[in-house]
Structure 1
């Protein structure tokens, strides 16, 4: 893992992965964090994020970008052994991430954000690209702060 990153580049990379159609929101966030932090994270972690786009399996519930942000927070700070109390800090950080999104957009619900939009159209795609970048940036800021990694921006 690196000792310094560009949060701006993390955001830009996540947005570009979505814009090019390589990944959807949650996948793009995991891929950008993985690549920019130079993590020894298996590619299967990106695959784990594949069910979250369009509000979890196209159900339009929880915004997939928020889910992607929570996935990467869990990667860095989550527990792997039952009973490990560090889960409490992970929950606090995940809550911080979703609260930031909620502060900016009122709700986490994909169906509210996309109401009246043609799915996959310019307006919908542009909004989701923006949400993807925003959440990648927020997650990166939390990770950088918590791990004492330098932001070079």
Structure 2
């Protein structure tokens, strides 16, 4: 079994958690986990989502796992016609539904709140991914939860 076939046997949640442990940011981890669902090059996926880790470039705003989930939802269900208000509204409703479920499970969609940090921006230099880092941060679980939420939505929608 080749690497691609092995990845298809894993859940999106498992993949997202593994990608985060490999060093990808939270947004990249979730968006990349769903790469089997859309026709997009891995390098493009990683570049597009690279700015959203740490709550938007470590600004600690909307959680990158949530942003990655939104980007994957956009690739799966997004609209392309800017004049189609019905489809646009349906998509925004979908995004709000995903956000609500994440918030219900985690009490927030805001990075600094999820991490228990104070107000304000963080330094732009990411912390080293050490064993201690993984012990004090819920990020591995959060990327897994974001992927589970999107898969749950997909199961309901796509049957």
Scaled to the shorter chain, the TM-score interval is: 0.7 to 0.9
Which residue of structure 1 aligns with residue 53 of structure 2? 53
- RMSD (Å) for aligned C-alpha atoms: 2.2
Report the alpha carbon displacement of residue 116 of structure 1 after superposing the two structures with TM: 5.2
Structure 1: state its 5+ residue gaps. 149-153
Report the alpha carbon displacement of residue 70 of structure 1 after superposing the two structures with TM: 0.7
- Which of 20, 23, 37 matches 2:22? 20
CA distance in 2 between counterparts of 1:98 and 1:73 reads 11
CA distance in 2 between counterparts of 1:78 and 1:116 reads 33
TM-score (norm: length of structure 2): 0.78
Larger RCO (alpha carbons 8 Å, 6+ apart): 1
Residues 77 and 89 of structure 1 are in contact (CA less than 8 Å); yes or no, is this contact kept in structure 2?
Answer: no
Tell me the number of residue pairs that the alignment of Structure 1 and Structure 2 aligns.
139
Which residue of structure 1 aligns with residue 154 of structure 2? 143
Matches within 5 A, 1:2-41: 9-21=11-23, 23-35=24-36, 37=37, 39-41=38-40
Report the alpha carbon displacement of residue 79 of structure 1 after superposing the two structures with TM: 1.1
Residues 77 and 86 of structure 1 are in contact (CA less than 8 Å); yes or no, is this contact kept in structure 2?
Answer: no
Structure 2: state its 5+ residue gaps. 1-7, 119-126
Residues 26 and 53 of structure 1 are in contact (CA less than 8 Å); yes or no, is this contact kept in structure 2?
Answer: yes
**Judging changes above 3 Å, is the alpha-carbon distance between structure 1 residues 116 and 90 closer, same or farther for their aligned structure 2 residues?**
closer
Matched, 1:131 2:142: yes
CA distance in 2 between counterparts of 1:40 and 1:105 reads 31
Residues 25 and 68 of structure 1 are in contact (CA less than 8 Å); yes or no, is this contact kept in structure 2?
Answer: yes
Residues 61 and 111 of structure 2 are in contact (CA less than 8 Å); yes or no, is this contact kept in structure 1?
Answer: yes
TM-score (norm: length of structure 1): 0.80
CA distance in 2 between counterparts of 1:28 and 1:86 reads 27
Larger radius of gyration: 2
**Judging changes above 3 Å, is the alpha-carbon distance between structure 1 residues 32 and 110 closer, same or farther for their aligned structure 2 residues?**
same
CA distance in 2 between counterparts of 1:33 and 1:76 reads 9
Deviations 1:7-57 (A, max 9, x none): x71110110011121x1111111111113x3x3123313321111111101
